[in-house]
Amino acid sequence: MQIDYYYSLAEKNLSEYRFYHSKMVAKAAKELALKYGADSAKAELAGILHDITKEMPINNQLQLLEDNGIMLDSVTKSSEKILHAVSGAAYAEFELRINDRDVIDAIRFHTTAKADMTLLQKIVFVADFISEDRSYPDIEIMRQEAEKSLEQGMKYALSFVIKSLVSQGRCIHPDAIDAYNEIIMKGI
């Protein structure tokens, strides 16, 4: 299918705000792919679909996962911010019939990251943090780190998220900890 189809689908399924964000992530992902030597079409596709189920009712997300035999860990079950990444990957795979595992996993791990990420997965994770629509504290530092390397961008993003979750007394997904530890152990 043409990329225009997925943009139309996102526009139909998302609020104006969330659709704009998804377009900006797709743009950032495509730009990062061109910079770092990944497939820009796959990056754009994963970017436009990364939040495709974010505004879907929780019960519908859970039903989608159950219908496709996807079991959730306890941290994901307790966090809507993580749940949409898992349900979005399932939606892409089972409803949209996207059969590219790297695209599916880029959607799946765009919120938590994980150890041993592929180039595409790193790109979508970082793109979600640095897209033009983002305006959180330290965004310019985050963008500068992503310009240095994807790993520098990931390290900064993971540090930011982990500190934020700890300060709020919220759970941290083990995948995020594994991703952070991997980067630190590499000396980045």
Tokens of 116: 């041993």
Residue 73 placed within a domain? yes
pLDDT at 136: 87
pLDDT at 1: 65
Domain with 75 in it: 3-135
Q: What is the pLDDT tens value at each position of the chain, 188 positions in all?
A: 699 999 999 999 999 999 999 999 999 999 999 999 999 999 999 999 999 999 999 999 999 999 999 999 999 988 988 999 999 999 999 999 999 999 999 999 999 999 999 999 999 999 999 999 999 888 999 999 999 999 999 999 999 999 999 999 999 999 999 999 999 999 88
| Residue pair 15/124 in contact by the 8 Å Cβ criterion | no
Nearest residue to 183 (alpha-carbon basis) of 129, 123, 120, 113 = 113
Spell out the residues 6+ positions from residue 1 whose beta carbon is closer than 8 angstroms to its own.
none
Residue 130 placed within a domain? yes
Nearest residue to 107 (alpha-carbon basis) of 20, 44, 23 = 44
| Residue pair 59/85 in contact by the 8 Å Cβ criterion | no
CATH number of residue 18's parent domain: 1.10.3210.10
How many angstroms separate the CA atoms of 137 and 47, rounded?
22
Residue 123 placed within a domain? yes
Biggest CA-to-CA distance, the chain: 43
Residue 187 placed within a domain? no
Helix (H) or strand (E) holding 22: helix 16-36
Residue 65 placed within a domain? yes
Please give the tally of structural domains in the chain.
Answer: 1
Nearest residue to 76 (alpha-carbon basis) of 12, 6, 185, 172 = 172
Spell out the residues 6+ positions from residue 73 whose beta carbon is closer than 8 angstroms to its own.
173, 174
Provide the whole-model pTM: 0.96
φ, ψ for residue 39 (rounded to 5)? -75, 110
pLDDT at 141: 95
Residue 142 placed within a domain? no
Residue 180 placed within a domain? no
Residue 12 placed within a domain? yes
